[in-house]
Amino acid sequence: MSYIGDDLITPFQIEGMSVRGRVARLGPLVNEVLTRHNYKEPVSVLLGEALTLAALLGSALKFDGRLTLQTKGDGPVSMLVADYEAPGRLRGYAHTDEEALEAAIADGRVTSADLVGSGYLAMTIDQGPDMERYQGIVELDPRGLAECAHAYFAQSEQIATSIRLAVAPLFDRDAEGHGQTEWRAGAIMIQHLARDGGLTGHKEDEEEAQPLTQEEKDWEHAAVLLDTVEDHELLDPQVTPDRLLFRLYHEDGVRVYPPHEVAFGCRCSAERMEEVLTRFDDADIDEMTVDGAIETRCEFCAQVYHFDPEALKRAGKEKTE
């Protein structure tokens, strides 16, 4: 079910401060991605967080590029991938060890630390074929992806950042009164862009710490208010971004800008799949053949494609001639 304000990223600026931010609200989009694969609920929560974070960060791109968020860990959820392509296409998937996942869920080990384990999170920004890609890598934080993003911005971008994420399945009724469960996700992020550059709001050495500047006080004030956001405020379709931002920052003044739309979008196609398969030699194609055909499945959208092995062999030979 779609609500006003769903699948939108809303930028905002706190008046009189060097603090800007964005609110993400995902409804049908995140529900479509998560239900296509029938993930276990704890996995859906993790992937929903990755999708929301990618949308939140990718929507800030000022060029027609792509931001990819990827985790690799030693837990039952060995990989999460969320891919945002400007101006607003989002997709993602999770790779799991089903046996290890079942055991973890049975034991009640369902936190981010339990499921993802130790490893790293990589954020890759691709500005197109004529530009060099940029990648930042941070260790996975047992407290979750939001903390990983905080570390990324502190280390790679030198920008003080605060993020709140929430993902959950919500029960609702359709127009005919039938009950249904749909996934929703939401997030809010603020960043402090100091007028003189650099990371602010952090005093590591208390003995040598200088008195806070007004900018740093403003940042701490904005961050403290953000910490009061509750999950239901990020997920409830009745709590629009405007209402949430008014609740948080009405005393300071907040300017809300036009939102950016996001939608599910996968770049897979039969032609792309065929291009990959024709790179294999005849022996590999024979090994992939089952009942006279080769079947492939896109990890992002779960679309299934079927190919004639002999046609692939001929196409491969034509490429090498």
The domain ranges of the chain are 8-264, 270-320
Question: Which pLDDT does position 178 carry in this prediction?
Answer: 67
Please state the φ and ψ torsions of residue 65, each to the nearest 5 degrees.
-120, -160
Could you state, in chain order, the average pLDDT of each consecutive group of 10 residues for the chain (321 residues)? Answer: 84 94 96 92 96 95 89 97 95 96 96 96 87 90 95 89 95 69 95 65 53 88 97 94 96 95 93 92 94 93 92 85 66
Q: Could you tell me the end-to-end alpha-carbon distance of the chain, in angstroms, rounded to an integer?
A: 53
Q: Compute how many other C-beta atoms are within 10 angstroms of the C-beta atom of residue 180.
A: 11
CA 159 to chain CA mean position, Å = 19
Question: Which pLDDT does position 287 carry in this prediction?
Answer: 94
Residue 48 · residue 183 · CB < 8 Å: yes
Question: Which pLDDT does position 198 carry in this prediction?
Answer: 47
Question: Which pLDDT does position 209 carry in this prediction?
Answer: 59
CATH superfamily for 270-320 is: HSP33 redox switch-like (3.90.1280.10)
Question: Which pLDDT does position 201 carry in this prediction?
Answer: 47
CA distances from 242 to 4, 199, 260 (A): 12, 28, 14
CATH superfamily for 8-264 is: Hsp33 domain (3.55.30.10)
Token representation of residue 160: 């003080």
Please state the pTM of the whole predicted model: 0.88
Residue 181 pairs with which residues in a beta bridge? 171
CA 217 to chain CA mean position, Å = 30
